[in-house]
A and B are shown apart, each in its own frame.
Chain A
Amino acid sequence: MNTTLKKIARGYEAVAVLFLLLLFFSVMIQIIMRNVFHAGSIKLEELARFSLVSLVFLMIPTLTLRKQHIIVDIVLLYLPQKIKRWVSVVTQALVLFFGLYVLWAVATIMQFNWNVRTPALAMPNVVFYIPITLGIVAMVVFSFAGMIASLLNKEVLL
């Protein structure tokens, strides 16, 4: 299972890197167009913003799998190993629950507004929300794997 999770995470990271580069080039081209050709483009700005939203949500599962989320672990540090394990099970379950709620939230938007388009690129919501949905689905899967691993006293690590 670890190999599959690793491959999924690597795939997400690769796509997120592409979005990062897309964001950078969109802003740079925008600067050149505005300053050299006196023609700014709202499409490029929207593309950069879409890239930012996408890369953030695509990286969330990787942070979950590698336990790189920002946490406050001051209480955890003083807990005995056995309790720490159970706390880890519960926190992974809570992340899972939150992920499921976010997916429900996405589903409710898609139900009525899937065809609403963004102002500049005219991108329908159903496309805009693809990276967000993929990110949250993977977060749910990774937190479930993490929960099972904690229950079995194993580590899911890359």
Chain B
Amino acid sequence: MSGSLVISLFLFLLATGLPIAVSMGLPSALYLIMANIPPSQLIQRMVTSLNSFPMLAVPLFILAAGLMNSSGITERLFEFAKLLVGRMKGGLAQVNIVASLIFSGISGAALADVGGLGNIEIEAMDKQNYPKTHSAAITAASAVIGPIFPPSIPLIIYGAAAETSSMRLLIAGIFPAVIIAMALMVQVGFRARKYNYPRGVEKKYSVSEILTIVKRGLPSMLMPLIMMVGMLSGWFSPTEVAAIAVTYALILSFAYKEMSFRSFFKTCLSTLQSTASVLFIVASAAIFAWVLTVEQLPQQASALMLSISDNPVVLLILANMILLLAGMFLESTAAIMVLTPILLPPLMIAGVNPVHFGLVMVFNLMIGMITPPVGMSVYMLSPIVGLPVGKVFKAVLPFLASLLVALVILTYIPQISLWLPNLIFA
């Protein structure tokens, strides 16, 4: 059984609707049987991939975001973002982006952004008569920021796959997330004029109103700050920061008196579901990637890419094209685990920094979350806005322009990602 047959079988099983983890595990199991390799190899690889300290951050970050959501933080964040940019023309569309940026400092997943903030953002935009397609499109596009700004579950998984420091990766995400938010805000600014979007807030805020909103929002806003300071100071590892975030979220939840034992248990269960569905893929991808390595597929891909060019600019164009295409069809965790060992070695030979490439990879795959046919953010948003999936996909398309501009900037100016981690870890 050759490596290409393993990949073909994986893609076929994927298309039949088999769980992604099993779609990876089953061809690997068949390979082991046919190659007469002991089956213990499979379970050992699966367990070892999970039995790692950085991976502990995954459930903890998901739990922290879940607890913050249950404590009514999303409304407070939305009000705070409204205070910052609500007075602009097309204010609520801008608020949507700023709120996503702030929320991304709490949650590490794009879908958590859509699920957490989506309802509030779309309801508020509905009230101001924004076309539903526009509000859905802006919400989906801004959710892309979530996994770029720390904490980020895809970046932690990339760190494990690329054997790169997850701390460096998380810190490297700060400026790129701001660049993406700025690119989206510029496009929304143009659209606000073209479609005559209303101001988010007509009247000026009084001092007492400002103080009330800041007071309400500040405790939640402190969460990203605590995480940033914890990581930037070097006091805590990403896993430890995640545990501190959970502690802080628990304190806030009880302080806001919006957490009962029942809702806590419910949050724990949804954390477990998200964690298990992502990490089961990571575990299966570990044996799948091993099979591809035994079959020397990464070496072949590396040789092929380097035969085209050894210029990092050309290789990055190629990598971006592959990743954008993969993001359209593959779930991000699976794509990271399979493509990292294939794409990273030739890029590193060409001089691309693995931290920089991690950011580029995750951003590409997040764009895939809003593109057909498997744009999961759009599938999640469609019932919220009450529009068919196809209409939401069509509405999101214009925002790909600003996201692709941001992608080009981040790909070809690595200093945006690398400056801060290099400064801290110099």
A residues contacting B by CB (< 8 A) are 13, 16-17, 20-21, 23-24, 27-28, 30-31, 35, 45, 48-50, 52-53, 55-56, 59-60, 62-64, 68-76, 87-88, 90-91, 94-95, 97-98, 101-102, 104-106, 108-109, 132
Contact = CB atoms under 8 A, between A and B. Distances in A.
Interface residues of B, number: 61
30 contacts: A16-B272, A16-B276, A17-B265, A23-B59, A24-B246, A27-B60, A28-B243, A35-B235, A48-B53, A49-B56, A52-B51, A53-B51, A55-B272, A56-B280, A59-B273, A59-B276, A62-B273, A71-B17, A71-B20, A72-B331, A74-B15, A76-B17, A91-B18, A94-B22, A94-B26, A95-B18, A98-B29, A104-B39, A105-B39, A109-B43
A105 B16 contact: no
Q: By DSSP majority rule, is chain A's interface helix, strand, loop, or mixed?
A: helix
A100 to B, nearest CB: 10
A1 to B, nearest CB: 22
Q: By DSSP majority rule, is chain B's interface helix, strand, loop, or mixed?
A: helix
Given A49-B51, A98-B25, A91 B276 contact: no
B244 interface: yes
A13 B43 CA distance: 22
Interface string B225-256: 00000000001100110111011000000000
Contact of A20 (B53, B272, B329): B272
Nearest to A51: B56
Interface string B24-54: 0110010001000011111110110011110
B43 A105 contact: yes
A20 B271 contact: yes
A52 B17 contact: no
B397 to A, nearest CB: 18
A52 B59 contact: yes
B277 interface: yes
B279 A56 contact: yes
B15 A72 contact: yes
B274 to A, nearest CB: 9
Nearest to A96: B22
Given A24-B63, A72-B330, 11 more contacts: A28-B247, A45-B53, A49-B56, A56-B279, A60-B280, A71-B19, A72-B329, A75-B15, A91-B18, A109-B43, A132-B47
A59 B272 contact: yes
B408 to A, nearest CB: 28
B13 interface: yes
Nearest to B247: A28
A64 to B, nearest CB: 8
B362 interface: no
A68 B273 contact: yes
